[in-house]
Amino acid sequence: MAESTKEFTYEELSAHNTKKSLYISILGKVYDVSKFIDEHPGGEEVLLDVAGKDATEPFEGVGHSDEALAILETLLVGNMKPGETSPKKPPAQNYPTVIPQPQASSGIGSYALPIVAIVVYLAYRYLV
Ligand code: HEM
């Protein structure tokens, strides 16, 4: 079964978006649902909705049974290429992580307390 080790890009996956050739990806694996679509107890509409796309969330959201998972395994045709990011989620490197740094204290604010303390101390020494 050389086909089951084929690696798909999202571009390749999205080419299979018709009822005749319908691939979906779930948890990084790619399934050919074309032959199963007419038998799907949840109907064909939901599968057409995710044709050529990542269907992990809708598939898991339904809480499919072990039987469904067993069927799924028989439809396996390959894996998503490692590092392929769903078009829904833009690549992380487009969004450099900005870690807010604690602002260095500036101005009189950070000195106010010691100054007040010294003034109070001197006043106390001077007056008492
Ligand atoms: C190749 C992928 C899929 C397989 C093999 C599959 C298989 C099944 C099976 C066997 C059932 C009967 C209940 C069960 O055993 O859990 C079912 C029900 C259902 N499926 Fe899927 N499913 C797939 C993908 C999806 C997707 C992507 C959706 C999208 C929302 C979906 C929606 C549903 C719904 C709504 C039901 C409930 C139908 C009902 O009980 O009225 N399924 N599916």
At 56-110, the pLDDT tens digits run 999 999 999 999 999 999 999 999 999 877 666 555 565 566 777 776 655 666 6
The count of structural domains within the chain is: 1
Tell me what the mean pLDDT of segment 27-42 comes to: 97
3-state secondary structure of 21: coil
Q: Quick check: is 35 in a domain? A: yes
Q: Show the ligand 1 pocket: residues with CB < 6 angstroms.
A: 31, 33, 36, 40-42, 46-47, 50, 55, 58-59, 62, 64-65, 67-68, 71-72, 75
b/e sequence 39-53, b meaning 16+ C-beta within 10 Å: eeeeebeebeebbbb
**pLDDT (average), residues 47-52:** 97
Using an 8 Å Cβ cutoff, are 13 and 6 in contact?
A: no
Q: What residues contact 105, with CB distance under 8 A and at least 6 apart? A: none
Distance 111 CA to ligand 1 centre (A): 66
CATH (domain of 46): 3.10.120.10
Assessment of whether the complete model's pTM goes beyond 0.90: no
ipTM of model = 0.92
> Residue 90 Cα, ligand 1 centroid: separation in angstroms?
28
**For the chain, how far is it from start to end, CA to CA, in angstroms?**
95
Q: How many other C-beta atoms lie within 10 A of the C-beta of residue 33?
A: 23
Q: How far is the CA of 113 from the centre of ligand 1 (A)?
A: 66
Give the integer Cα–Cα distance in Å for 61 and 44.
17
Assess if residue 108 is contained within a domain.
no
Residue 106 lies in a domain: no
